Amino acid sequence: MQKLIECVPNFSEGREQNIIRQITDAIRSAEGVSLLDVDPGASTNRTVVTFVGDPEAAVEAAFRAIKKAAELIDMGKHKGAHPRMGATDVCPFVPVSNVSWEEAIECANQLGKRVGEELRIPVYLYEKAAKDKARSNLSVIRAGEYEGFFEKIKQAEWKPDFGPAVFNEKSGGTVIGVRDFLVAYNVNLNTKSVRRATSVAFDVREQGRVKTEDGTAWGKPALDANGEPVRIPGALKHVKAIGWFVKEYGIAQMSMNLTNIEETPLHVAFDACVEAAAKRGMRVTGSEIVGMVPKKCLVDAGRYFLRKQRWSEGASEEELIDIAIRSMGLGELKPFDPNEKVIEFKIESAEPKKSLVKMNLREFCNETLSDSPAPGGGSVAALMGALGASLGGMVANLSAGKRGWDDKLEYFSDWAVKAQQLKDELLSLVDEDTTAFNKVMDAFGLPRESADEKTARAAAIEEATKHAAEVPLKVMETASKSYALLAEMAERGNPASVSDVGVGALATRACIEGAALNVRINLGQLKDEKFRTGLQDKVRKVSANSEAQFKTIIQVVEGKLGKS
């Protein structure tokens, strides 16, 4: 797997497009990175940039961007609503795929060392990269902001991790670190009052508010036995929030950082704001995501809102994301395009490749019918399996919505969700099978002039062919999971759709038997006897189990059709 790490630098410039462009051009100039998102804000005077690449490339791109920002941004003249301490205010690394926390922390250290030594900018490490755990929290480091750091940096406990212990008047300081996905999320209110927005922010943020002796917002702070202010915690864990006014929209917002989206997902934060605002006589009118968001955030939100509607959660990813966007009003202030804002989608579009599953039906059939050997039987078998799972899921969704079956909603919804997962797995195997075949063809095309080249070519062909045999076996094993779904739908699903269950079972059986043929034709080319025998045994077991389950389901289907 490719090593992929995300970097999300925040620059203290959100108004001058020429400056923003020069910084992003510096990122683009580093080979091996993909610039995914540039999100400027005029009121905050801040731009959040997102790019991905392998660790080495990401560090290089980040350094070039920080260097360019230091050249172009004068912090002595900077004004904006967002807390900040430097031209490049914060620069976190976020592991995406095949990158450990240790590797990500090494990226932060490499970048911090270069920025400190070569650019003479004070650097502090935060979150998982922090050397001093007392300084792991970004808000603690940034307290006092740019203006306060001239004196703060003179204190022994605020000596930078890298760079000089003298504040850089033009560039300020930079905070570099490693963190989980952080979602920068703003919730819109039907007010212009910053004070009212701040009250809602205090209601929801983990830190809450300081308790007063008389219970009023302006009263004397209540103190504990140690003389420290007593705090009333907010409703949400792992949430930082403030209220502010956004001039270009003419509204006040709660601006939040969700620092642990597993513990406090996006939809939970949204609903907490809705509830808190309503208690104070206000209304949430929508929300916006600053920067990018993991796909899971929106998929989980879509399921949550369907659950609130007492509807089946077994919708496609695309539909779930659309429901999330509409439910949270993510497009109220400006259009929300998932292909631009969802990190997984943006990575896919940054590395365009021909995908069979993104073709329409006619294009797929035309491609199959052409004189190219791929896609062939393996990809078609996987597609049949996806259709079999889809039919089972359709019956589950119809059953979940059947009038008078309200008590069965959760049961059928769970099966519909499983059907969506199986469908998506099998669709991914449509492309994977063709990719595996193409790798075999590539291996056959390797040079074979010298003895060493012949040996290397033979080894490459053997490995590629093994993989080409494993993929259709994976298709068989994945499709076989659809039988449990189809069996339940045959027995307990909407009886008006029992014929669809039968077609689903036929498609699943055809998928498994078709994929078995593709395993066998690849095994015939292999020299590794042990590997070949092992896969043959697995194929026989899956095929035998498939036949038994298919017959059981078809008997139920035929029995119910016979009564109609």
Q: Domain boundaries in the chain?
A: 4-178, 183-349, 357-562
Tokens read off for 110: 């490499």
| Nearest residue to 394 (alpha-carbon basis) of 474, 507, 299, 552 | 507
Just give the CATH number of 4-178. Answer: 3.30.990.10
The residue type found at 124 is Y
Q: What is the pLDDT of residue 1?
A: 53
C-alpha gyration radius of the chain: 29
| Nearest residue to 473 (alpha-carbon basis) of 422, 438, 523 | 523
Sequence-ordered list of residues with C-beta below 8 angstroms from that of 272, at least 6 positions apart, any chain:
203, 204, 235, 236
| Nearest residue to 448 (alpha-carbon basis) of 438, 436, 460 | 460
- Please give the distance of CA 457 from its chain centroid, rounded to a whole number: 38
Q: What is the pLDDT of residue 181?
A: 82
**Cβ atoms 444, 486 nearer than 8 A:** no
Just give the CATH number of 357-562. Answer: 1.20.120.680
**Cα gap 492→498, rounded to integer Å:** 10
**Cβ atoms 66, 10 nearer than 8 A:** no
Just give the CATH number of 183-349. Answer: 3.30.70.670
**Is 238 tagged catalytic?**
no
Sequence-ordered list of residues with C-beta below 8 angstroms from that of 296, at least 6 positions apart, any chain:
261
**Cβ atoms 196, 282 nearer than 8 A:** yes
Residue with tokens 């059986």: 509
Chunked mean pLDDT (size 10), the chain, 564 residues? 87 95 96 91 93 95 98 94 94 90 97 97 96 91 94 94 94 95 93 96 94 75 82 94 94 94 95 97 96 90 97 96 98 93 82 82 95 92 98 97 93 97 96 94 94 95 96 98 98 96 98 97 92 96 97 96 76
Catalytic residue among 203, 300, 433, 500: 433
- Please name the helix (run of DSSP H) or strand (run of DSSP E) that holds residue 243, with its range, or none: strand 239-246
| Nearest residue to 311 (alpha-carbon basis) of 331, 332, 329, 327 | 327
Say how many C-beta atoms besides its own lie within 10 A of residue 152's C-beta: 17
Catalytic residue among 39, 82, 89, 500: 82
Residue with tokens 């983990």: 206
Q: What is the pLDDT of residue 564?
A: 60
Say how many C-beta atoms besides its own lie within 10 A of residue 281's C-beta: 9
Helix intervals (H) in 328-406: 338-341, 343-350, 361-369, 377-400
Q: What is the pLDDT of residue 351?
A: 64
Sequence-ordered list of residues with C-beta below 8 angstroms from that of 382, at least 6 positions apart, any chain:
426, 427, 429, 430, 432, 433, 472, 475, 479, 511, 515
Q: What is the pLDDT of residue 343?
A: 84
Tokens read off for 485: 């779904």
236: left (phi over 0), alpha (psi -120 to 50) or beta: beta
**Cβ atoms 84, 142 nearer than 8 A:** yes
330: left (phi over 0), alpha (psi -120 to 50) or beta: alpha
Dihedral (C-alpha) 352, 358, 360, 366: value to the nearest 10 degrees?
A: 70
419: left (phi over 0), alpha (psi -120 to 50) or beta: alpha
Is the omega angle on the peptide bond into residue 375 within 30 degrees of 0, that is, cis?
A: yes
Q: What is the pLDDT of residue 363?
A: 94
Per CATH, 183-349 and 357-562 having the same topology is answered no
**Cα gap 358→406, rounded to integer Å:** 36
Residue 501: C-alpha distances to residues 279, 316, 507, 561 (Å) = 49, 19, 10, 11
- Please give the distance of CA 437 from its chain centroid, rounded to a whole number: 29
N- to C-terminal Cα separation, the chain: 53
**Is 203 tagged catalytic?**
no
| Nearest residue to 465 (alpha-carbon basis) of 548, 517, 522, 412 | 522
> Which residues, listed in sequence order, are joined to residue 11 by a DSSP beta bridge?
47, 88
